């Protein structure tokens, strides 16, 4: 991978990039994984507030858990090329289907190794909140995500059926032991 990237917490300075990220996913029709409520919240200021609320763990919306949202920013041009979210603990849904981590890479920036980089780069943060292993899941058939997980040491656990969306989900564990 050529370009230098960094994970950063989202702030107001990223407003335009967040809107552009969202629009690109709306245009492509892709799933905005690892972005919290970005699909629902068109106003980046509202999204920043919701994100901060989830990070603090206070007044987290019902059914959600404390979660930290990161942006993946390319150093050369400041572009937000990806997003990754760490859920600090499990809800019943996350334990079975959603896992600890969600992520996505902007459609125009795919196949450059960015997803694999993000998943690796978020590991120290996961350790810092006390996780010794992370559950990462993907839809059966999402080859890009499956390979991203495998590149990061994912060990296959099970495939489960999620009845609401009627989807098969593969579950992988990544050890954080050093
Ligand atoms: C999944 C996703 C994050 C991958 O992002 P990316 O930056 O293109 O992935 P990378 O470039 O880091 O590639 C990681 C691995 O996947 C492979 N890969 C990437 N896109 C692929 C594709 N379309 N088909 C098959 N393999 C693919 C890469 O070759 C690489 O594997 P390799 O090193 O063994 O060759 C991106 O496709 C995405 O945002 N999809 C929509 C949201 C989503 O599915 N998120 C995951 C939810 S579990």
**Domains parsed from the chain with CATH numbers:** 5-175 (3.40.630.30)
Ligand 1 test: best mutation among 31, 86, 111, most atoms within 8 Å of CB?
111
Enter the DSSP assignment of 141. Answer: T
Strand partners, 74: 5
Q: What is the pLDDT of residue 3?
A: 78
> CA-CA distance, 178 to 175, in Å (whole number)?
8
Of the CA atoms within 13 Å of residue 100, those in its CB half-sphere come to: 24
Strand partners, 169: 139, 160
Enter the DSSP assignment of 134. Answer: E
CA of 114 from ligand 1 middle (Å) equals 8
Enter the DSSP assignment of 97. Answer: I
> CA-CA distance, 172 to 177, in Å (whole number)?
16
In this prediction, the residues of the chain whose per-residue pLDDT falls under 50 are: none
Which tokens in the block code for residue 50? 């919701």
Which tokens in the block code for residue 84? 């990754």
User: In this predicted model, what pLDDT tens digit does every residue of 34-74 receive, in sequence order?
Assistant: 999 999 999 999 999 999 999 999 989 888 999 999 999 99
Q: Whose CA is nearest to atom 40 of ligand 1?
A: 104
Q: What is the pLDDT of residue 139?
A: 98
Ligand 1 first shell, C-beta below 6 A:
30-31, 33, 103-105, 110-116, 138, 142-145, 147-148, 151
CA of 116 from ligand 1 middle (Å) equals 8
Q: Whose CA is nearest to atom 23 of ligand 1?
A: 144
> CA-CA distance, 62 to 57, in Å (whole number)?
12
Instruction: Give 24-42 as a DSSP string.
Output: HHHHHT---TTSTTTTT--
Q: Can you give the C-alpha Rg of the chain in angstroms?
A: 15
Phi and psi at residue 120, to the nearest 5°: -70, -40
Q: What is the pLDDT of residue 2?
A: 67
């Amino acid at each position: 991978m050529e370009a230098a990237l960094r994970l950063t917490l989202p702030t107001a300075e990223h407003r335009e990039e967040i809107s552009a990220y969202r629009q690109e996913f709306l245009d492509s029709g892709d799933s905005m994984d690892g972005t919290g409520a970005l699909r629902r919240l068109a106003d980046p200021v509202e999204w920043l507030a919701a994100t901060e609320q989830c990070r603090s763990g206070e007044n987290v919306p019902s059914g959600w858990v404390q979660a930290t949202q990161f942006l993946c920013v390319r150093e050369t041009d400041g572009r937000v090329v990806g997003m990754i979210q760490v859920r600090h603990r499990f809800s019943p849904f996350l334990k079975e289907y959603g896992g600890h981590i969600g992520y996505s890479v902007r459609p125009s920036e795919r196949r450059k190794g960015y997803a694999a980089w993000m998943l690796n780069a978020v590991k120290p943060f996961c350790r810092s909140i006390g996780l010794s292993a992370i559950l990462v899941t993907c839809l059966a058939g999402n080859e890009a995500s499956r390979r991203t997980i495998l590149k990061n040491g994912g060990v296959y656990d099970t495939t489960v059926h999620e009845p609401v969306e009627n989807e098969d989900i593969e579950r992988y564990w990544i050890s954080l032991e050093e």
